């Protein structure tokens, strides 16, 4: 377990492969949790990738181009998938699913390893703990009807790059494509919320400490509208034994989800390590 740094308030390290914790956040944790438990809170922090629209991306609505002038694009949200001919379009309950994201694994890994992308001044390059594939594309589909509450209404495919965009097959009620939003990625700290048992278990005698600490961390750390890995930022249900793979708030996409305000994709640590994306589960939050 990393030691709490008290001689340098700029940042403190939560653990190997995770960007440093800003000094003001470390002080906040110490004030809430105390000297003994503060390092345990630090150890819960995870690395993630915050996704945001690429500023110079070609977003012409066609959903086929993810390039930007400076090479920062890591894929796009929405659009049409680069689905190989021998790969069937995912369906749920007889309906073609809707593509929510197409992400380039190599570009994500490069963003994760890039030096200086953490919130602390001492962030260094470290790709040794990158848990996703090193190449190919990850395609995230879900059932736009949000009709299943058991987590089965999604599909994540790991496919080779290079296939042309493919439109959805014909369906009785249609499967509208989400307008494409090319995105770039920045490595970012992610902290647990009061709903995460890992934080709650640190304070078995006073749950309010976990509640107040989680609120403080949520206010101090940036909350992106789209995040890869890390902790869950929303009030969607948390499947037991799973961690977030991708989470998207409705504000980042031009999609009609009715009263749904976010969707998320979840995976167990063992399945993540083995790249078993066929076992990913779906979550969503209704306002």
Q: How far is Cα 264 from Cα 259, in angstroms, rounded to an integer?
A: 15
User: Domain extents for the chain?
Assistant: 11-286
Q: Which of 194, 157, 155, 216 is nearest to 22 (CA)?
A: 216
Q: 11-286 — its CATH code?
A: 2.30.320.10
Each of the 287 residues of the chain gets a pLDDT tens digit; together they read 332 233 233 344 454 456 678 889 999 999 999 999 999 999 999 999 999 998 754 444 334 444 433 457 999 999 999 999 999 999 998 889 999 999 999 999 999 987 544 443 333 334 457 899 999 999 999 998 888 888 899 999 999 999 999 998 876 566 788 899 999 999 999 999 988 999 999 999 888 999 999 999 999 998 999 999 999 998 888 888 999 999 999 888 887 788 888 999 999 999 999 999 999 999 988 87
């Amino acid at each position: 377990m990393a030691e709490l740094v008290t001689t340098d308030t700029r940042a403190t390290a939560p653990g190997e492969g995770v960007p440093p914790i800003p000094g003001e956040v470390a002080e906040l944790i110490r004030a809430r949790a105390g000297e003994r438990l503060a390092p345990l809170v630090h150890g819960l922090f995870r690395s993630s990738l915050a996704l945001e629209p690429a500023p110079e991306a070609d977003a012409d609505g066609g959903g086929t181009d993810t390039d930007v002038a400076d090479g920062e694009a890591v894929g796009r949200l929405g659009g049409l998938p680069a689905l190989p001919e021998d790969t069937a379009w995912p369906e749920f309950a007889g309906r073609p699913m809707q593509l929510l994201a197409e992400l380039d694994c190599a570009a994500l890994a490069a963003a994760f390893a890039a030096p200086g992308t953490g919130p602390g001044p001492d962030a260094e390059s470290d790709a040794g703990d990158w848990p996703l594939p090193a190449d190919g594309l990850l395609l995230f589909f879900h059932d736009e009807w949000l009709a299943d509450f058991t987590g089965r209404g999604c599909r994540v495919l790991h496919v080779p790059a290079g296939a042309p965009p493919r439109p959805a097959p014909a369906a009785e009620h249609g499967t509208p494509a989400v307008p494409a939003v090319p995105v770039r990625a920045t490595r970012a700290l992610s902290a647990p919320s009061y709903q995460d048992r890992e934080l709650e278990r640190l304070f078995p005698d006073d749950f309010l400490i976990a509640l107040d600490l989680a609120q403080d961390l949520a206010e101090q750390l940036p909350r992106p509208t789209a995040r890869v890995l890390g902790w869950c930022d929303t009030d969607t249900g948390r499947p037991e034994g799973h961690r977030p793979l991708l989470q998207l708030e409705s504000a980042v996409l031009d999609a009609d989800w009715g009263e749904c305000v976010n969707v998320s994709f979840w995976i167990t640590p063992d399945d993540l390590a083995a790249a078993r994306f066929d076992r990913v589960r779906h979550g969503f939050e209704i306002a």
